[in-house]
Structure 1
Amino acid sequence: MTRTLTLRRPDDWHLHLRDGAMLRAVLPETSRHFGRAIVMPNLVPPVVTAADAVAYRDRILAALPEGAEFTPLMTLYLTETTDPADLRAAAQSGLITAVKLYPAGATTNSASGVRDFDKVMAVLETMAEIDLPLCVHGEVTDPAIDIFDREAVFIDTVLDPLRRRVPDLRVVMEHITTSDGVDYVSAQPDGKMGATITTHHLIIDRNHILVGGIKPHYYCLPVAKRARHRDALVAAAISGDARFFLGTDSAPHTDPNKLSVCGCAGVFSASNTMSCLAEVFDRAGALDKLEGFSSLNGPAFYGLAPNTATLTLTHGDPVSYPAHIQTEDGPVTLFDPGFPLHWRVAS
């Protein structure tokens, strides 16, 4: 007996599209299944002004496959020199949907991020006034802090104090990886705080990266944590709590850059995310919660209507995906969940 699941078309609330040849190669993988995506601004140079966002949006739209129905939701990269007036104008025109905070040095192309929060308070207060969400990469960068503890320390020393200083600012803690993140977000007022959870953090833990040899294609930032943290993320995703929604953090790097002596952080999952998620939710007996997590909770937080189009998945024999996608710069390896995927996107 064939099992089917029809959802409102999902959105991706944290996505890296890169630029140039990489953008042209990976954008079709997202636009095939997703209606909208929050597009990360950490290009080189970063997207820091309204003019930058217009130019990047135009490049994305030009790279869309013919007939694709996909809306890029643009963001600005918060720096210590961000102009509140430029940001306000970009938001009020509908150009941008959020602003992204990278602590300086936290992840790929984050060198322009914030070091002194006093220098961005005027921007954050403007965002609170106009109800523009702040998307946060939630890790401290102090080299004295163990990499597996950086999310928990960020909550205590940066995020919570920041939210107390600007209590009306709506915040998304992106790609949470710990039970600490789940617990903190769960305790916040609904509508004021949200969190994205990635596909890969619902599946892998740190053993997948390190046991039996180093697996570079599982290396990401924030790095995957213990299995108990992974289990907490799954519990949050399937809970039906509207504070939690999908942000794949699909982040393509070519294989030579992943497999080098200093390999890049990032997991590319755009192509098979919906199959992976259906498998995770099915195994947890929570398929009825997948639509909320992937299609409804994110739009609700951002004040947008859900997509009217639908996506149908069918359950059957294992579905295979190409191990790589090809780009003009080299191959990009697709996330391998490590188990068969029985759910395929039918339409």
Structure 2
Amino acid sequence: MKSLKIRRPDDWHLHLRDGAMLEGVVGDTSRDFARAIIMPNLVPPVVTTADAIAYRDRILKATPSGDSFTPLMTLYLTEQTDPDDVEKGKASGLVTAVKLYPAGATTNSHGGVRDIEKAMPVLERMAKIGLPLCVHGEVTTPEIDIFDREAVFIETVLDPLRGRLPELKVTMEHVTTADGVDYISSASGNLAGTITTHHLIINRNAILVGGIKPHYYCLPVAKRENHRLALRKAATSGDARFFLGTDSAPHVDPLKECACGCAGIYTSINTMSCLAHVFEQESALDKLEAFASLNGPAWYGLPANEEMISLVKGDEPVSFPARIETGDGTVTVFDPMFPLHWQVQR
């Protein structure tokens, strides 16, 4: 197969940052993707509907003219979040989901939830009004190995929460383990998961073998090869409970290449080429549209995009920049470590 036509895709987990970084990266998403769920972990975070309105307006202002792009806004869950404000945001159509960051789990998560009991009034209201909860599914207690954080979160936090509020719709974002895949696959309802581009391609060897490679470091961290293979099987299965959320997360190179490098991989610019490669490897190009364009909208109760895009495979590799320049500095682009031959035809 040399060409493929699919509905225009969406990104159901995206970091755009703010200010000069936002202006430098938003175009890489808006070129290929019609919509994206925008993460709220700014400094300060997006915690109220008013914050979300202001952030959405900054995103739209920074989006290149001529690009059709809709940011889908989320609120950052805290132990002080007002349930009435959350319901107001849902009723206005502005707020698509609320994001749970366990405190300390990832970039700008220090203001996240430490005691889930203190967030229960908001979660109960969300269950009542049908507003999804997006979760960064890792525990942060120091005695738990970083490679086990997702599995322990499922056992000690997520499963008890879903048992207590079975009507709450939960998106387990950036699933990285076979444990996560199995948990979602066995759920009777109200649970889905996003899978990133990079977790389909790299395992933890990419970070550690031959020297530490900071541009492959992300949170949740990449796991063993058996987990990567489980993610590929889920993504390419056509199962409606799994869909694309890139978790594309730009950091300037000096903050990646230092003694305490930031977690995050920038994939927005080449995600569709990477995905076509992966799905072709798995003999599942016919499932790419479901993963990138259909399953996510269905989960969030939105129509699939009417616009179509074409992916074309060429004989020569596609050239993507190794780095992009932003007003904040240089950002390194994800290198899948193999040549890419598929590209979106514009």
TM-score over 0.5 for the pair = yes
TM range (shorter): over 0.9
Distance in 1 separating the partners of 2:80 and 2:183: 30
Structure 1 counterpart of 2:277, one-letter code? E
Secondary structure of the residue that 1:124 maps to in structure 2? helix
Q: Deviations over 1:158-192 (max 9, x none)?
A: 000011111100000000000000000001124x1
1:225 aligned residue: 223
Distance in 2 separating the partners of 1:229 and 1:83: 38
Distance in 2 separating the partners of 1:27 and 1:125: 34
Q: Is the aligned partner of 1:53 residue 2:47?
A: no
Structure 2 counterpart of 1:29, one-letter code? D
2:91 aligned residue: 92
**1:52-131 to 2 correspondence within 5 Å?**
52-131=51-130
In structure 2, stretches of 5+ residues that fail to align are: none
In structure 1, stretches of 5+ residues that fail to align are: none
Per-residue deviation at 1:151? 0.3
Structure 1 counterpart of 2:53, one-letter code? V
1:345 aligned residue: 344
Structure 1 counterpart of 2:126, one-letter code? M
Per-residue deviation at 1:146? 0.3
Distance in 2 separating the partners of 1:95 and 1:268: 26
**1:119-198 to 2 correspondence within 5 Å?**
119-190=118-189, 192-198=190-196
2:248 aligned residue: 250
Per-residue deviation at 1:335? 0.2
1:314 aligned residue: 312
Per-residue deviation at 1:320? 1.0
**1:18-37 to 2 correspondence within 5 Å?**
18-37=17-36
Per-residue deviation at 1:328? 1.3
Q: Deviations over 1:76-131 (max 9, x none)?
A: 00000000000000001101000000000000000110011111111001101110
Q: 2:275 aligns with which of 269, 274, 277?
A: 277
2:296 aligned residue: 298
Q: Deviations over 1:246-303 (max 9, x none)?
A: 0000000000000011000000000000000000000110000000000000000000
Distance in 2 separating the partners of 1:92 and 1:196: 25
Secondary structure of the residue that 2:324 maps to in structure 1? strand
Q: Is the aligned partner of 1:289 residue 2:282?
A: no
Structure 1 counterpart of 2:32, one-letter code? H
Distance in 2 separating the partners of 1:21 and 1:260: 22
Per-residue deviation at 1:6? 0.7
Normalized against structure 2, the TM-score is what? Answer: 0.99
Distance in 1 separating the partners of 2:37 and 2:274: 20
